[in-house]
């Protein structure tokens, strides 16, 4: 998954008109995003065999394996954007050693469910809201197309988590065990989305698909209240979150 050369060409004048410091910031943002997407892909790849071993349906295991490949493609797209802004191709870099979180429950089914809750129901669902906001702000061709391509698949990655929680695999006993864990999962993950972008000015660069820090925080807080919490309720998991992680 890469931008078509014509999209890149149509964006060159807008990119060339950016101040040098802002171009460097956008390049840094996309390098950071590339690293994140690569780690997420590794995470999905590590989770898939555990889903299979835990008796999750072949369809959902297949979705997890597909998500791993798609996130690797997203990393390549992010590197391409970094290269456009930097003016030189962004190197892939050495893969970081991935440490899949453990929760110390002593119950593999619960461990797997918590991994999916954190990865999909929380993070990928919030990523969908974030990327949708980026797409809505974008006016430059490369930003619009990159966010469109990314959003198209990110939606499915969030749905994987909700599908698992709604499936027969997640029965009443597992739901009962999950419920008291949810506030801690939100507390561990939501604040990561509320942090200021270290590469860009607080106002962001909206036309290039980067809303400002305040706009991103509002988007994330709204997504928690209007998507994540109702999602948990829909699958029979009661959870409250006061906001502002």
Residue 244, pLDDT > 80, answer no
- The string of DSSP codes covering 186-213 is HHHHHHHHHSPPTTS-TT-BGGGTB--H
* Residue keyed to tokens 């394996």: 65
**Is-contact 1 74, C-beta < 8 A?**
yes
Residue 91, pLDDT > 80, answer no
The predicted model scores a pTM of 0.95
Torsion angle in degrees (nearest 10) through CA of 24, 127, 3, 89? 30
How far is residue 171's CA from residue 118's CA, in Å, rounded to a whole number?
A: 19
The domain spans of the chain are 5-234
**Is-contact 94 38, C-beta < 8 A?**
no
How far is residue 20's CA from residue 219's CA, in Å, rounded to a whole number?
A: 29
Query: How confident is the model over 28-78, as pLDDT tens digits?
Result: 999 999 999 999 999 999 999 999 999 999 999 999 999 999 999 999 999
pLDDT range class, residue 96, cuts 50, 70, 90: low
Residue 182, pLDDT > 70, answer yes
Nearest to 116 by CA among 100, 138, 128: 100
Q: Which residues of 195-234 are buried (b: 16+ CB within 10 A; e: fewer)?
A: eebebbeeebbbebbbbbbebbbebbbebbeebbbebbee
pLDDT range class, residue 245, cuts 50, 70, 90: very low
pLDDT at 209: 97
Q: Which of 42-56, 97-111, 161-175, 203-217 has the lowest mean pLDDT?
A: 97-111
Considering only the top CATH level, what class is 5-234?
mainly alpha
pLDDT at 98: 76
Instruction: Point out which residues pair with 205 in neighbouring strands.
Output: 210
Query: How confident is the model over 214-226, as pLDDT tens digits?
Result: 999 999 999 999 9
Answer with the residue of higher pLDDT: 195 or 96: 195
Q: If you average pLDDT over residues 140-157, what whole number do you get?
A: 95
* Residue keyed to tokens 């998500």: 67
How far is residue 188's CA from residue 190's CA, in Å, rounded to a whole number?
A: 6
Residue 90, pLDDT > 90, answer no
Q: What is the mean pLDDT of the chain?
A: 94
Sequence-ordered alpha helix ranges (H) in the chain: 5-16, 20-53, 58-86, 108-116, 125-137, 141-166, 172-178, 182-194, 213-223, 229-234
pLDDT at 243: 63
Residue 93, pLDDT > 70, answer no
Query: How confident is the model over 10-26, as pLDDT tens digits?
Result: 999 999 999 999 999 99
pLDDT at 89: 81
pLDDT at 97: 66
């Amino acid at each position: 998954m890469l931008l078509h050369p014509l999209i890149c060409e149509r964006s060159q004048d807008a990119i060339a008109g950016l101040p040098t410091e802002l171009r460097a910031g956008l390049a840094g943002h996309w390098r950071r995003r590339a690293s994140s997407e690569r780690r997420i892909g590794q995470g999905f790849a590590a989770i898939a065999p555990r889903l299979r071993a835990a008796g999750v349906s072949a369809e959902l295991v297949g979705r997890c394996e597909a998500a791993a490949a798609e996130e690797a493609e997203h990393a390549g797209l992010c590197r391409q954007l970094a290269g456009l802004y930097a003016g030189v191709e962004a190197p892939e870099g050495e893969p970081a050693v991935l440490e899949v979180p453990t929760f110390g429950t002593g119950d593999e089914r619960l461990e797997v469910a918590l991994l999916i809750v954190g990865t999909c129901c929380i993070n990928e669902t919030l990523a969908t809201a974030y990327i949708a906001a980026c797409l809505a702000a974008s006016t430059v061709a490369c930003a619009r197309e990159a966010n469109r391509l990314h959003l198209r698949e990110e939606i499915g990655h969030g749905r994987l988590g909700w599908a698992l929680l709604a499936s027969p695999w997640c029965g009443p006993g597992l739901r009962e065990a999950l419920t008291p864990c949810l506030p801690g999962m939100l507390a561990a993950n939501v604040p990561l989305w509320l942090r200021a972008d270290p590469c860009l000015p607080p106002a962001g660069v909206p036309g290039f698909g980067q809303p400002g820090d305040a706009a991103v925080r509002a988007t994330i807080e709204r997504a928690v209240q209007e998507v994540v919490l109702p999602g948990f309720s829909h699958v029979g998991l009661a959870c409250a979150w006061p906001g502002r992680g």
